Structure 1
Amino acid sequence: MAAKLIEGDPQRLGDYRLAGRLGAGRRGVVYEAYDSGGRRVAVKVPHGDSELWRPLAGEVAAIRAAAPYCTARVIDADCAGARPYVVSEYVAGPSLRGAGRTLAGPDLLHLAAALATALTALHEAGIVHRDLTPDNVLLGPDGPRVVGFGPVSPTETTLTWPRLAMSAPAYTAPEAFTGREYGPAADVFAWGAVVFHAATGREAFEGSSLGTVMHRVLSVDPDLGPIPQPLRALVADALAKDPERRPTARDLLRDLVHADATVRLGAPCLAPDCLTHASPAACLPAACLAPSGGEAPRWAQEWTAERLTAEEVLGRRVCLADALLVARAPLTLDFLLAAGGAMAARLRTPCDDPGLGTVAEDAYVTLDPADRPFAPAMFLRLADGRGGPRGTRGTEERIAEAFGPLVVRAGDLARLADPALPYAWPRLAGWIEADRDARARLARDRLFWLALTTLLTLALVVALATRGGPV
C-alpha cells in the first residue's frame, strides 16, 4: 500500500496522476499512479540531473522490448521532459523482504526460477539489473515479479563500489568492490544472495558494519546447508567470488527447469542431453517406461504420434515435465522463458491491495439507494476543490462517512483525501465527463441565445431606421 505524497513530490506527470509513494531507493522514487483511463500503474522518477536522462530513450526501448516474463512490464516513459519518469504495470503484493516469511520446497524452487527467468529475459535484451535485492522482488497474485530495473544514467554505469555497497552491500558482487566491470554476472551473484535470503530469512553476508559485510562478500562462503539440493549447488555456483566461474542466468534457468521436470516426473536426474534427444523416451530411466513388451505410457503414445513441439505442448497446458521430455529440438530461449514463467506462476501470493477506484466503488454500492442520487453533485464539488458537504447536509454527511478515508472532513468542510481519485474511479470520471459536456452544451446554448438576441436587436434597429422613426 502506498504512503502519502510528501512536499516536493509531483502531483502529476504527463497523463498520470500520482496517488502515493510506493518506495524510494538509490535510483529514485516509485509512485502509485493512475492514467486517464483509471489504470493503476507504478511511476518511477529517477534521481539526478534530468539532462543526463535525455539520451536514454534507446535503453528504454530495449527495456520495453525485453520478453515480458516475471518482470513488471514497462508501459511508458519520458526521458526528455524536465522530470524524467518510467511507467510500469502495478504489481499488487508485498516484497520478498516485506512478506516476512521464508520459503522451502517447491515454493523456493519456483521463486528461484522466477528470478532466473526475469534475469534471463533482461540479459538477453542487453539489460543489467544492478539492484536485485529482496526489496525488488514482489510476491504478486500471479507469481513473483522482479522490479527496480530501468534506464541507467551515464554516471551509474561507472559507479564506484561505495555507492553500490551503501545501497545493498550484502547483494553486491565482489567485483564491484574491486573495481572490475559490473555486468550480468553481478546479477547472478545477487540471485544467489536473494535465494539464500528467501530460504533463511537472513542475509548471506551478514555484518554489523559495511567493512564486515565487504570482507564476507570478498572472502567468506556462506553456509548453504538450509538450502536443499539441487538448488544448493546452483546457489553455490552463483555466489562464486570470480565472476568468470558463475553460470549465466540462462544456465540457471535451464537447470532449474530440468530440476522441476525431474521432481514432477518423480524420477532421478536426467542427463542434460536427454531433453534434446531425438527420441526422448530412449533416455528416460527404466522406472518411467512400460515393462519390456508391454504397452507404452499413454502420454508417450499420444505425443510421439503427434510429434508435438514444445510450444504446442505448453499451449495445451500439459505437464511441464512432460513438455520438456517431448521437446524434439534443443531448448530454445522462448521455451526456457515460457517454462520458467510457468514455474513462477505456481507461487501465487494472495494480496488485499485494492486500488482507489475499487475502494470507492465498494463504498458507493453500500450507499442507501435514496442517498445515491446526491453523490454525483457532492463529488463534483470535491473534485473541483469547492468543498462540502452542503445543501442536503444530512445526506451528504452520510455519503462522506460511507466513503471513510477517501473523504477528509473538517467541520462543515470536506475534500478528497487523494487528488488521484477522479482518475482512479471510473464512475467519478464519468460524472466529471458528463458534467463537462453539460457545461459545454450550456455555454453553446448561451452563445446561441446571445447571438440570436443580438441579431434580433440589430434587425429591429435597422427596421426603425428604415422607417425614419426614432430609434
Structure 2
Amino acid sequence: MQGIADYEFVRPLGESNYGTNYLAKAPARLGIGAGEVVVKVIAGPTSDDAFRRATRELKHFSVADSDRLVAVYDAGRHGGAFYYAMEFLPLGSLEKPHGEFGTAARVAAVRDAALAAHALHERGIAHRDIKPANILLAEDGGRLSDLGLSQLLSPGMVTTGLGQIGLEFTDPAIMLGAQASRASDIWSLGASLHFAIAGKGVYGDLKGTEPLLLVRSILASQPTISDQLPASARELVEASLATDVAVRPRTAAEVADRISGILAELGTTV
C-alpha cells in the first residue's frame, strides 16, 4: 500500500482521536533499531485544527520526558498532510491485547500508565483520555499513548467536545463541566485498573455508542466494583473513584506505588 514521506505503510491500524494510524516500515535514518513504527496521519478538511492538536500532543510528549509514554521519533508535513512516527507496541492494548496476558501483566500496564500520567501532571498537563485502549502492553509493563485530548491544567479550562473520549473511563465530573486535573486522571486510572482485573468497566455493559446517551446513562448510574478484585485493589479503585476528590490518591505516582503493592500480592515484580 502507499505511504507518506519515506514511510512505507504496511497496514492501517485504525482511527485515533483526530488522525489515522498506520503500521509502517521504519526508515533507516531514524536509527531506532526497530523495524516498524506507527505513523499517525492528519489530513482532510479539519486538518488545520488537527494540526494544532497534533503539535500540542507532540509538545506534551516531549516535555513529560517519561519512558512510560509511547516514544515519538519523527514528525513532518508531506503533500498537505501532517504526520508523526512513534513507537510500535505489537502486543496491543489493555482493551485489545494481541495474545493471552495474565492479571499481573495487565495490572503492570496500568501501573506504568500511572507513572506516565504522573510525569504529565508534574509538567502541568492532564491526559484526559486514560482508558484501556490507550494503555499499551509491553514486555516490561506498559506505555500510555494518545495525548490528542491532553490539555494544560489551567484554571477555567473545561472539556468541550467529547470526540472519541472513553466515556466510561472518564470522571463524571468532567462530563458536568469540571476542569481536567490530576484527580480526574486518577479516576480514569482507577477505572482502568478495575478493567485490568475484572475484564469490564465499573458501569458493566453499557448499551449503545451515541455519546450523549452514554453520558446520560453514566450520570444516572453509580460505579459498581466487581467481587473479582482483591481487597487491596478494591480499596484503591474505590478511593480513585470517590466523588470527593480529597479522598482520592493525591498523585498518580501514589496510584503506581499502590499498584506495585498489588503486584507484590500477586507474586510478581513485573
TM-score class, shorter: 0.7 to 0.9
Q: CA 1:34–1:158 in 2, change beyond 3 Å: closer, same or farther?
A: farther
Which secondary structure state, in structure 2, belongs to the residue aligned with residue 94 of structure 1? coil
- Structure 2 letter corresponding to 1:239: L
Residue equivalent to 2:256: 253
Percentage identity across paired residues of the two chains: 27
Aligned with 1:49 (options 46, 55, 71): 46
Secondary structure of the residue that 2:68 maps to in structure 1? coil
- TM-fit CA distance, 1:262: 6.6
Which is greater in Rg? Answer: 1
Aligned pairs (5 A) from 1:58-457 = 60-78=58-76, 82-99=80-97, 103-104=102-103, 106-107=104-105, 109-150=107-148, 159-160=159-160, 163-164=162-163, 167-206=165-204, 207-209=206-208, 211=213, 214-217=216-219, 219-243=221-245, 245-247=247-249, 248-257=251-260, 259=261, 263=265, 343=269, 346=270
Higher strand fraction (1 or 2) = 2
Aligned residue in 2 for 1:20: 11
Structure 1 runs not aligned, ≥5 long: 6-10, 267-341, 347-471
Equivalent AA in structure 2 for residue 208 of structure 1 = K
Q: In 1, are the aligned partners of 2:131 and 2:166 still within 8 Å (CA)? A: yes
CA RMSD of aligned residues (A): 3.5
User: Partners of 1:112 and 1:36 in 2: how far apart?
Assistant: 31
Amino acid paired to 1:171:
F
Query: Cα distance, 1:249 vs. partner?
Result: 0.8
Which stretch shows the higher mean deviation, 88-97 or 43-52?
A: 43-52
CA contact (8 A) 1:173 1:217 kept: no
Q: How far apart are residue 32 of structure 1 and its match?
A: 0.8
SS at match of 1:135: helix
The number of residues matched between the two structures is 253
CA contact (8 A) 1:169 1:214 kept: no
Please report how far the alpha carbon of residue 21 of structure 1 lies from its aligned counterpart in structure 2 after TM superposition. 0.8
Counterpart contact for 1:224–1:236, Cα < 8 Å: no
For residue 203 of structure 1, give the secondary structure of its aligned residue in structure 2.
coil
1:33 pairs, out of 24, 27, 36, with: 24
Kindly indicate whether the alpha-carbon contact (under 8 Å) linking 1:56 and 1:79 is maintained by their aligned counterparts in 2: no
Give the superposition deviation at 1:93: 0.9
- Separation in structure 1 between the aligned mates of residue 69 and residue 151 of structure 2, nearest angstrom: 21
User: Could you tell me which residue of structure 2 aligns to residue 407 of structure 1?
Assistant: none
CA contact (8 A) 1:69 1:121 kept: no
Partner Cα distance (1:216, 1:151) in 2: 20
Asked whether the equivalents of residues 73 and 85 of structure 2 are also in contact (C-alpha less than 8 Å), the reply is: yes
The secondary structure found in structure 1 opposite 2:230 is coil
* TM-score computed with the length of structure 1 as normaliser: 0.47
* 1:76 to 1:126, Cα distance in 2 relative to 1, 3 A: farther
Contact 2:114–2:189 (CA<8 Å) still a contact in 1? yes
Partner Cα separation in structure 1 for residue 47 and residue 106 of structure 2: 40
Alpha-carbon displacement from aligned partner over 1:232-255 (angstroms, at most 9, x marks no partner): 211111112344543221221233
1:54–1:79 CA contact under 8 A, matched in 2: no
Q: Distance in 2 between matches of 1:97 and 1:137?
A: 8
SS of residue matched to 1:246: coil
Encode CA deviations 1:74-94: one digit per residue, 9 max, x unaligned. Answer: 112237983122211111112
CA contact (8 A) 1:117 1:253 kept: yes
Q: CA deviation at 1:190?
A: 1.5
Q: 1:414-448 CA deviation, whole Å, 9 max, x = no partner?
A: xxxxxxxxxxxxxxxxxxxxxxxxxxxxxxxxxxx
Partner SS state of residue 92, structure 1:
coil
- AA aligned to 2:47 is S
Q: Looking at secondary structure, tell me which structure has more helix per residue.
A: 1
Query: Is the contact made by 1:120 and 1:249 (CA closer than 8 Å) also made in structure 2?
Result: yes
**Residues 174 and 218, structure 1, Cα contact 8 Å, conserved in 2:** no
Q: Distance in 1 between matches of 2:248 and 2:256?
A: 13
3-state SS in 2 of match to 1:230:
helix
Three-state SS of the structure 2 residue aligned to 1:84 is strand
Report 1 or 2 for greater relative contact order, CA contacts < 8 Å, sequence distance ≥ 6: 2
